[in-house]
A and B are shown apart, each in its own frame.
Chain A
């Protein structure tokens, strides 16, 4: 089936020419960024490009064991609160390293998404809208990749680092497959991205030239969304093959491996730093799993300890390397966990009053937005939801969240038009 792309709209023509043009031109730029420790290079990249990294705390991390502790109350649990580098702001004792970096970060403690289902909560938090059968919306990574011009980059603009086997996801909805996420499995280059044994470089170049020639001829009369996606997949694969080293964290120093942690999250976070340094627009790191209906405290002790080490190392590095002003960092889940401690020392699903942490680009450092009541069972002030957060993420990196995407001649709001950004959270 042909898509509306076949209408040959100017917008799409320009986008495609841009993409193909940059294919040839940006490989050198990306390769030349190197380790990106030079502040002047960082400043240059900042001027050109904003980036986003999301820590997906899969399953629903507990706000009480992280960003909004309530020690000494009936819901507090066994962990205590510790002071942070921001006077008056306390977080869980499970985050001692992060606490020292709080002046780079901000908290939103008044989230109520009115959703306690994993799938629906995740959809809301990742798209900024409620799930409906009427329309599918792109996830934040796709929106960021599209809005920040990731398609002009040689590397994929939307990467998920996880322990899955890799591949391309279906999370970009009407923005098209160019902005769908590519999963990178366990810090390894994408599967099958090496040139096949037995094929010389010259043969490889020749076969790709032939493919492009055939594609272009076909596209002259029968261009469609499908043919674009087809062509783009090949071109992106070419770039991945040329930049396989970007995904190779063995090139990072042993000291950094130690700092980030040799566990999976540590290694994935180190890869995230490497990808951000190389100019990838959106990177998501998943830490699994926090769905702790049973033994919430033992599991959070284990998991949050890992997170604190890896996350604080990344925040610190981005700050030291001058990348924090251009990189938005978000730590979020599909929801939080119940203040009530259940009979298994567990906490259940809770979208009613919970928190996220964010920082970096465009965010008011050290801010704490909203609050919950004494034992965390309800939002006390400045209630916000997924829609407000989604607008805020976009505005923080300079994207007009009140604008629209033009998709096949139809304007679709970038973010839910019934919501607005949290202005006091923006720098």
Chain B
């Protein structure tokens, strides 16, 4: 039984529209809803973490990093928000911060190089981080101490994701390799080869692509990874989004979705509780939310956004999606038809 069958909420991706827009002073990078769905946090090119209250759009700015923040995560109780920076550091902050100038409650010098991705373990006790030093690190959420280092990637790590049931951890890198680590034993990691998400452009001498986002199917038997392909001109942003589906057991690619004709990168992918996948795509084509049914061969809807999009998250209500945009705007989209206001008289 899915979340929506339980709550009887209906969504219609084909009716996706922008419901709210909040403006910041610098281009945005990524965004996340807090677990309670009260706030949306975003990061920006001025190194800030920004919190908007969903109900009224009230804004608070958290400053502490001295470089861009690439990812955001929350503690299981929803009281702590963690930011991972290009300044090698993890900062822990109070979600309900009231001070004029918020200060971090904890700072960890976690990696040598950018920390591109973080995620909390399903039981809420551990935080995984990965970045440019090619090491996956696992931290104790309670005291911030390092628990384990996972070494094996030969190039920058772009994304990390926990398996919801078995304690394994996925980490995807620039060349499209996804390592599945057994965090309990010291067994060698399983490797899923997503080479289609990597382009070694010999003309421009550039390695381009990477596992930009990951998701698992509802039955946890299929791993989805998103990014880009057809990078005929990496320096000119000529590429198209690509999503791969791996069979978790055989490690084989069992399906590919090309978001054909869209000059963009698929920055993130998520599985909606109603069973469809959705990606945020941004690039020369602008910004899009694209929707895919796992049993179909092509994306079935593309919702055009007003500007180039870079990151997104799904609200716990399953209806709202926040999107971080280059034009400094955070947009809240709804996966439902617009409700027309009744005209008086």
Chain A residues in contact with chain B, CB under 8 A? 59, 71-72, 74, 77-80, 163, 264, 288-289, 291-295, 298-299, 301-302, 341, 343-344, 346
Contact = CB atoms under 8 A, between A and B. Distances in A.
Interface string B120-137: 000000000000100000
**Chain B CB within 10 Å, residue with most, of A79, A294, A341:** A294
B208 interface: yes
Contacts of A289: 204-206, 235
B108 interface: no
Contacts, number: 62
B283 A344 contact: yes
Given A71-B66, A78-B67, A341 B237 contact: no
Nearest to B202: A163
A192 to B, nearest CB: 24
B247 interface: no
A343 B235 CA distance: 13
B326 interface: yes
A230 B304 CA distance: 64
B46 interface: yes
Contacts of A295: 208, 234, 237
8 contacts: A59-B235, A80-B67, A291-B204, A292-B235, A299-B206, A302-B206, A344-B308, A346-B235
Contact of B45 (A59, A74, A293, A294): A74
B47 interface: yes
Contact of A80 (B66, B234, B283): B66
Given A80-B87, A301-B132, A341-B27, A293 B236 contact: yes
Given A80-B66, A80-B87, A293-B237, 20 more contacts: A59-B235, A71-B66, A71-B67, A72-B66, A78-B68, A78-B86, A264-B205, A288-B205, A289-B204, A289-B235, A291-B204, A292-B235, A294-B237, A299-B208, A299-B235, A302-B207, A343-B27, A343-B326, A346-B235, A346-B237
Interface string B58-85: 0000000011100000000000000000
B26 interface: yes
Nearest to A291: B235
Interface in B212-266: 234-237
A294 B67 contact: no
B116 to A, nearest CB: 10
Contacts of B139: none
A78 B114 contact: yes
B284 interface: yes
**Chain B CB within 10 Å, residue with most, of A59, A77, A78:** A78
Given A74-B45, A289-B206, A344 B234 contact: no
Nearest to A289: B204
Given A288-B204, A289-B205, A302-B206, A344 B46 contact: no
A74 B205 contact: no
A80 B46 CA distance: 13
Contacts of A264: 205
A106 B114 CA distance: 29
B284 A344 contact: yes
A79 B66 CA distance: 9
B234 A294 contact: yes
A301 B205 CA distance: 14
B47 A72 contact: yes
Contact of A74 (B46, B208, B234, B308): B46
Contacts of B234: 294-295, 299
Contacts of B326: 343
B204 A294 contact: no
Interface in B304-326: 307-308, 326
How many chain B residues sit at the interface, stated as a range, is 20 to 34
The 8 closest A-B pairs by CB, nearest first: A294-B237, A78-B86, A78-B68, A343-B326, A343-B308, A344-B237, A78-B67, A291-B235
Interface in B281-310: 282-284, 307-308
A278 B310 CA distance: 52
B34 to A, nearest CB: 25
A264 B200 CA distance: 15
Contact of B236 (A294, A302, A343): A294
Contacts of A163: 205
A74 B206 contact: no
A192 B93 CA distance: 66
Contacts of B66: 71-72, 80
Contacts of A346: 235, 237
A336 to B, nearest CB: 15
B205 A79 contact: no
A288 B202 CA distance: 10
A194 to B, nearest CB: 27
A154 to B, nearest CB: 33
Contacts of A72: 47, 66
A291 B237 CA distance: 11
Nearest to A263: B205
Contacts of A299: 206, 208, 234-235
A295 B267 CA distance: 13
A298 B132 CA distance: 10
Nearest to B85: A78
A298 to B, nearest CB: 8
Contacts of B156: 301
A346 B236 CA distance: 9
B235 A293 contact: yes
Contacts of B114: 78
Contacts of B26: 74
Contacts of B236: 293-294
B212 to A, nearest CB: 11
A288 B235 CA distance: 12
B85 to A, nearest CB: 8
B59 to A, nearest CB: 18
Contacts of A292: 235
B43 to A, nearest CB: 11
B213 to A, nearest CB: 16
**Chain A CB within 10 Å, residue with most, of B47, B204, B205, B283:** B205
Contacts of A294: 234-237
Interface string B17-47: 0000000001100000000000000000111
Contacts of B27: 341, 343
Nearest to B27: A341
A71 B66 CA distance: 8
Contacts of B68: 77-78
A301 to B, nearest CB: 7
A264 B237 CA distance: 24
